Amino acid sequence: MGQTTRLFIAAPLPDTLKQYLTEQAARYKSDAIRQVPTENQHLTLYFIGNVPATQLPAIQDITAHMAQQFAPFDLHLEAIEPGPKPRSPRLTWARFKSHDAFAQLSRSLTQALSEVPALNREPIPHVTLARFRMDRPAPHDLKSFEPASPITLHVNEMAVWRSELGSPHPRYSILQRYPLTGNPPDGKTV
């Protein structure tokens, strides 16, 4: 069997936002919570998984094409909270308000890069801040925090990322960046 690589498509975050999110994630103190390293924070658009390394050029071509179809857009942070299911969370995340451009971009990437049809559910724009450890009881009664002042993420590019599994965390690296250069619908700025 040929060499494989583990890939995903995500928007990089500015350093100031990553630092803010790291500070907010520190509110959750438990030996059952493993913080995501600041350098690994990103806004996932589509997780591809393990693919033959020979597929990388085609994935990069599709991603470049998609970037030309979508205009930059802004996401607004809604909460730092346990998720994705409040009653049985498995992580903490920074959840942004839903946004049509994010949902369309995520679905378009899923459709273009997957053999499985895109799900009908609304993709949730988020940044994973911590994961719950499997070898410890899950923490309970974790609170949700709203930002004290508005926090905006300007999404103006996406990238193909490589994930190399390791301990205690995987190592993520950007292979190629793609600016979003499409026109906003009806000429409106987002």
The CATH number of whichever domain residue 166 belongs to comes to: 3.90.1140.10
Q: Does 188 map to a domain?
A: no
Q: Using alpha carbons only, what angle is made at residue 185 by residues 184 and 190, rounded to the nearest 5 degrees?
A: 50
Structure confidence at residue 120 (pLDDT): 61
Q: The tokens 């190629």 sit on which residue?
A: 176
Per-residue pLDDT of 75-120, as tens digits, reads: 999 999 998 887 788 899 999 999 999 999 999 999 999 865 555 6
The predicted pLDDT at position 58 comes to 95
List, in sequence order, the alpha helices (H) in 40-186. 56-69, 100-113
Domain membership of residue 165 (yes or no) is yes
Is 187 a member of any domain?
Answer: no
Please identify which residue in the block is written with the tokens 């995987």: 170
Residues of the chain with pLDDT below 70 are 1-2, 115-120, 184-190
* DSSP E strands, the chain: 4-11, 33-35, 43-52, 73-83, 91-96, 126-132, 152-155, 157-164, 171-179
Indicate whether 47 belongs to any domain. yes
Counting every residue written for the chain, the total comes to 190
Domain containing residue 53: 4-181
Question: Which amino acid is it at 82?
Answer: P
Q: Which residues contact 94 (CB under 8 A, 6 or more apart)?
A: 21, 24, 77, 79, 80, 126, 127, 129
107 belongs to a structural domain:
yes
Rounded to whole angstroms, the Cα distance separating 97 from 79 reads: 9
Q: Is residue 190 in a domain? A: no
Note whether residue 13 is domain-resident. Answer: yes
The reported pLDDT for the residue numbered 140 is 75
Q: Domain count of the chain?
A: 1
Nearest to 39 by CA among 178, 176, 172: 172
Q: What pLDDT score does 190 carry?
A: 43
pTM across the whole model: 0.89
The verdict on residue 189 lying in a domain is no
